[in-house]
A and B are shown apart, each in its own frame.
Chain A
Amino acid sequence: MTDAGVAVETLSLSLGAFRLDAVDFAAARGEILVVLGPNGSGKSVTLETIAGFHRPESGRVWIAGRDVTALPPERRKIGFVVQNFGLFPHLDVEANVALARRGGRNGSGKAALPLSGDPRALLKYFGVAHLARRRPADLSPGEKQRVALARAVAGAPDLFLFDEPFSALDAQTRGELRDELKAFLRELKIPAIFVSHDHSEALTLADKIVVLRGGVMLQSGPTAEIFQKPAAAAVARIVGVENILDGRIAATDGGIAAIAVGDRTLRALAPARFAGPGTPVRLSIRAEDVSIAAPAEASAPAPESEPARNRLDGKILGLRALGALVAIEIDCGLPLKAYLLGPQARAMKLGAGDAVTVEIAGDAIHVMTG
């Protein structure tokens, strides 16, 4: 590993009863990698090990082509941002940034910014020069984020680490700061590892995702792949897939597999790994891929171009308003959850107990053998 990114090679360590087992991933320069996992999955431990606060039992950490495994945190050149941004409350904004100054030294010389290490210039770049004399307690979350970034950049980092910086914020602020952070990171071209338990946060921020649970890496890959093709039911749950069904392969025909779920059969793209009839599988179906039609219009024949379109009759169990969307629980002999836009749902005059027909494209059903 010699490029400008970050690489974690088969990192293992034990902390009390917790064990991190052979965690292995890499991010290139300018990439945002999100480590996604529930509480207790080991994502913060992973981050702190990369920062140098825990000594791994085995494995290596590479930052910007340097093996930093044996270095203390202060020599790893890391920008670390934590929940509430962790500004030093006893120092004003400029002193916060000045604390990190390393005489303008920028080891890799790769930063895309004209950053001399001068705190004033950094504050100006992040648009917070007017706050130089303020105390952190007097800043808004957005201002804190900018100061925290300016401070991190002042340390001439080769890597950014974010430990759930937004988790204490309200949803709207969180969304705004996330977008802003992404824009800054794109511009700075410094690789970033971002830890989160929120799959929607991962979806907006990540170029790559590593899914962690109980100290074990369940899957890693590009964001779209993790969301569309989770390797196992546990991953599907972590990335927020609403419908996870147990089934069994009934037959395969070319690229299409017929899968028995309860007493129904669904047709889906056959799994990449060979799985003969009788193989138990799990199906991952996103609620937005489940469409609802009134029984009358559904009687039209399926277009020829969609041979694997599934059509199931069912009954609405209940509806729940979720902002712009309405979540609809349907019993089709198998439980399904679907989303409709609010106005759409109102136009269809849907209510609990109504009979509906549900359609799912075969390629929207992801078959997991794991």
Chain B
Amino acid sequence: MAWLIAAGSAHAGGERAAPSRPRGLYLLCWFLGSLLTAFLVVPLLALTLSQSWTGFSDVARMADVRDAIVLSLEGAFLSATLAALAGVPLAYGLARTSFPGKGVVEALIDLPLAVPHTVAGIALLMVFGRQGVLGEPLAALVGLKFWGTLAGIVVAMLFVSAPYTVNAARIGFAAVDPRLEKIARTLGLNPWRTFWRITLPLARRGIMTGVTLTYARSISEFGAVVILVYYPMTAPVKIYELFLRFGLDQAASAAVLLLFVSLGLFLILRALSRGAPERENR
């Protein structure tokens, strides 16, 4: 008579094939991945190695080049700050509420990423230019001009880079378990304190990633800035000008300088956003 109790543990053990790793797939991934990584790194490396020290230090001492880099950093800082101030609340709203037309709003936020940046610059000119819908009245009423000013640079940078903050922060907020917020409420925290003490710290990494990307994208913006504000020159515009007027050598030296500055800041920001030990509760 078959006895089923014993049968339960009988199948354990015995010969079983060793779990085989999909080696072919791994090799293909490594191969294609290396190609892409090399494609991304080699041009920057080639640019850097092309520089002689004297040419580089000559350009680095040029006041207009330094001014352009400082201006880029200022503009990017303001752009990232504005993106954080307005983008983080929007991201929270998108992550925590649902309303008719939410998909449309999300698509609109991504729109600047799909628009060629020269097109974005022309569109911004229509709004913030001398005869723009906002540009004209703002200049007349409060003296805020967007042509030839830092304000214009910031507007152009913000337009093309704000989506990064909104998207990354939205993903960060969406990953915060709503039940943690509920628990905080039952513990006596009102919605504001719950947001500050629980939600914001837990979404911090996503927000910082977004702000860092916005910052990096702002520094690198050329197309929209050059159309809305040619002067004063940001670093990418300055490099373009050097290229047109003096040729490749000076432009390349300025480019390497900008590369070092922006890469350094990017790495610092990244380190900051991952700084504090934050382990997920699993």
Known A48-B182, A51-B182, A73-B182: A100·B187 in contact at CB below 8 Å: yes
Give the interface centre of A87, A321, A342 by most chain B CB atoms within 10 Å: A321
Complex CA gap A342/B7 in Å reads 13
What mask results when residues 179 to 196 of chain B are scored 1 for a CB within 8 Å of chain A, else 0? 110111111111000000
Say whether B179 contacts A86, CB under 8 Å.
Answer: yes
Q: Quick check: B278 and A346 within 8 Å, CB to CB? A: no
Least CB distance from A115 to B in Å reads 15
- Across the interface, which residues of A come within 8 angstroms of B202, CB to CB? 88-90
- Complexed CA–CA distance, A52 and B183 (Å): 11
Task: Report if A79 contacts B (CB, 8 A).
Answer: yes
Is the pair A88, B185 in contact by a Cβ cutoff of 8 Å? no
Q: Which residues of A contact B (CB under 8 A)?
A: 48, 51-53, 72-76, 78-80, 82-84, 86-90, 99-100, 102, 135-137, 151-152, 154-155, 157, 161, 163, 319-321, 326, 342, 346, 349, 351
Known: A88-B183, A349-B1. 18 other contacts (CB 8 A): A48-B182, A51-B186, A52-B185, A74-B187, A86-B177, A86-B183, A87-B281, A90-B202, A99-B184, A99-B197, A100-B187, A102-B188, A137-B279, A152-B186, A155-B187, A321-B5, A346-B5, A351-B1
Q: Write the nearest CB–CB distance from B58 to chain A, whole angstroms.
A: 49
Beta-carbon contact of B5 and A74 below 8 Å:
no
In chain B, positions 1-37 with a C-beta closer than 8 Å to chain A are: 1-5, 7-8
Nearest B-chain residue to A319, judged by Cβ: B4
Q: Show 24 residue pairs from A and B whose CB-CB distance is below 8 angstroms, ordered by the A residue.
A: A48-B182, A51-B185, A51-B186, A52-B185, A53-B185, A73-B186, A74-B190, A76-B186, A79-B186, A83-B179, A86-B177, A86-B179, A87-B281, A88-B180, A88-B202, A89-B280, A89-B281, A135-B279, A151-B187, A152-B186, A157-B186, A161-B186, A321-B4, A326-B5
Task: Assess whether A99 is in contact with B189, with CB atoms less than 8 Å apart.
Answer: yes
Closest to B281 in A: A89
Tell me the bound Cα distance from A155 to B183 in angstroms: 11
Report how many A-B pairs have Cβ atoms within 8 Å: 86
Which of A51, A100, A136, A161 is the one whose CB lies under 8 Å from B188? A100
Q: What is the CA–CA distance of A78 and B7 in the complex, to the nearest angstrom? A: 49
Within 8 A of A (CB), among B170-216: 177, 179-180, 182-190, 197-198, 201-202
B residues whose Cβ falls under 8 Å from a Cβ of A: 1-5, 7-8, 177, 179-180, 182-190, 197-198, 201-202, 278-282
Cross-chain contact of B186 among A74, A319, A321 (Cβ < 8 A): A74
Complex contacts, A72 vs chain B, CB 8 Å: 185, 190
Which residue of A is nearest B2, CB measured? A351
A151 to B182, CA, bound (A): 14
> In whole angstroms, what is the CA distance A82 to B178 when docked?
11
Q: CA of A296 to CA of B183 in the docked complex: distance in angstroms?
A: 62
Interfacial chain A residues near B280, Cβ < 8 Å: 89, 137
Complex Cα–Cα for A201 and B112 (A): 54
Which of A75, A137, A157, A163 contacts B281, CB < 8 Å? A137
Residue of A nearest to B179 (CB): A82
Give the complex CA separation of A151 and B183 in angstroms: 10
Partner of B180, one of A76, A86, A135: A86
Residues of A within 8 A of B279 (CB): 89, 135, 137
Which of chain A's residues have a CB closer than 8 A to the CB of B4? 319-321, 326
Docked pose: A155 CA to B187 CA in angstroms:
5
Q: How far is the CA of A212 from the CA of B120 in the complex (A)?
A: 57
Measured in the bound complex, the distance between the Cα atoms of B279 and A102 in whole Å is: 28
Chain B residue at smallest Cβ distance from A78: B186
State in angstroms the CA–CA spacing of A265 and B279 once bound together. 64
Nearest B residue (CB) for A351: B1
CA distance A157 to B188 in the complex (A): 10
Can you name the residue of chain B whose Cβ is closest to the Cβ of A95? B197
Q: How far is the CA of A341 from the CA of B63 in the complex (A)?
A: 91
